Amino acid sequence: MPPSHVLVLNSGSSSLKYQLLDMTNGESAAAPDPDAAPERKATGIVEHIGEPTGPADHTEALEAVADELAARGAGLDSPDLAAIAHRVVHGGTRFTRPTLITDDVVAEIENLIPLAPLHNPANLTGVRVARRLRPDLPQVAVFDTAFHSTMPQSAARYAIDRTVADEYGIRRYGFHGTSHAYVSRRTARLLGKDPSEVNVIVLHLGNGASASAVRGGVCVDTSMGLTPLEGLVMGTRSGDLDPAVIFHLTRVAGLSPDEVDTLLNKRSGLLGLCGDNDMREIGRRIAEGDEAAQLAFDVYTHRLRKYVGAYCAVLGRVDAVAFTAGVGENSAAVRGAALDGLEPLGIEIDAVRNAVRGSAERLVSTDTSRVAVAVVPTDEEREIAQQAYSLVRP
């Protein structure tokens, strides 16, 4: 048997998430099925890296993961391991597909650090440590931005001076790409269609949140931009605002650029509006008649509805709206409010179906709705593993 396991690593500044997946899972080598669900062999997270309660650094963290996997008979030296796949947040314009990691690729990811100062350095640390431990094994980088690289210039460009924009790489890149890719494809399958035949609006609503417009499997617009700050209202991020708010905060309120950065990324969104960033807590407070929680919910769902309307216009024909991630998969109230009043656009949510809780992929629209409304749990690790395996499979 050729090696068929892929170890997916998602390396953050103080945590290392991992999943080991068997990509063959009953599939015939002669007729590979890209939609076959891989078998999850192991999954876990090492936290508090560099803190007194955790491992000293990422090397120690990955060694702990290797020990854990070895105890299950699937260590880093296992002959079943086909590749290690790394989630990398920012691929700039350079990386538009899964990429085999070489010294040059590492150097180029490093060059992109100014565009993702919080994420790319941590991702790279994971890459370096894994390459040191298994220098002989193919290692693949899968980029959060890649799925959005197909956006036309009309959607990707900001209307600012082109020379300045090009010199500093200022454009819209988009994030959560592996989730948007996975969910749009699964939604097409749920409708019994090929992804190339289907136009989908994907709403990824987790702590971070983003929308995308996907035409025939190809992303044509997304709500996040140069950084993951643009677009929808999020747990702690503002999403869209007038850029002049920033000048006002620096000139009138006397905040430094770093203070504005922290305000908009960490103290805004749902948290800024009502003091809570967890939609469950906000739901509880609304049930008790809390006005600030209600306002936060209303601003959040109004923004969502605006993006759904905008992406209906971008796509022309829409076959499905798909909700995913923590809020999208679990909050019937958010789904209902986001699509409320969109019947003239052919979007009819079914209140009873929408209220049913579950973890399966499902439709929550009425039978007469022209546009299907779907709830599709995301699985970024599976998508990352699949993309990496497609590059290295024998």
Supply the residues annotated as catalytic: 144
Supply the minimum distance, in Å, between the C-beta of residue 114 and ligand ADP: 24
Sign of CA dihedral 39, 42, 44, 50: negative
Residue written as token pair 């006005």: 291
Burial class (CB in 10 A: 0-12, 13-18, 19+), 125: buried
Residue 139 engages ligand ADP in binding (rule: CB under 6 A): no
Please, what is the angle between helix 257-266 and helix 244-251, to 10°? 130
User: From the CB of 326, what's the least distance to ligand ADP, in Å?
Assistant: 2
Provide the β-strand partners of residue 46.
16
Q: Which of 54, 121, 275, 326 binds ligand ADP (CB under 6 A)?
A: 326
Hey, what are 233's tokens? 């209202």
User: In this complex, which beta carbon is closest to ligand ADP, that of residue 325 or of residue 373?
Assistant: 325
* Cβ within 8 Å of residue 358, ≥6 positions away: 375
Query: Is residue 275 near ligand ADP by the rule CB under 6 A?
Result: no
Handedness of CA 135, 139, 145, 150 (dihedral sign): positive
Residue 268 sits in the site that holds ligand ADP (CB under 6 A): no
Residues in binding contact with ligand ADP, number by CB under 6 A? 12
Sorted by sequence, the CB contacts under 8 Å of residue 122 that are 6+ apart come out as 11, 12, 13
**Of these, 72, 162, 251, 280, which contacts ligand ADP (CB under 6 A)?**
280
**For ligand ADP, which is the closer residue by CB, 207 or 390?**
207
| Min CB(356)–ligand ADP separation in Å | 13
Least distance to ligand ADP, CB of residue 149, Å: 22
**47 is a contact residue toward ligand ADP (CB under 6 A):** no
The minimum distance between CB 332 and ligand ADP, in angstroms, equals 8
Q: Show the site string, 332-351: x = touches ligand ADP by CB under 6 A, - = not.
A: --------------------
* Kind and range of the H or E run holding 220: strand 218-222
Residues in contact with ligand ADP by the rule CB under 6 A: 206-208, 235, 278-280, 325-327, 330-331
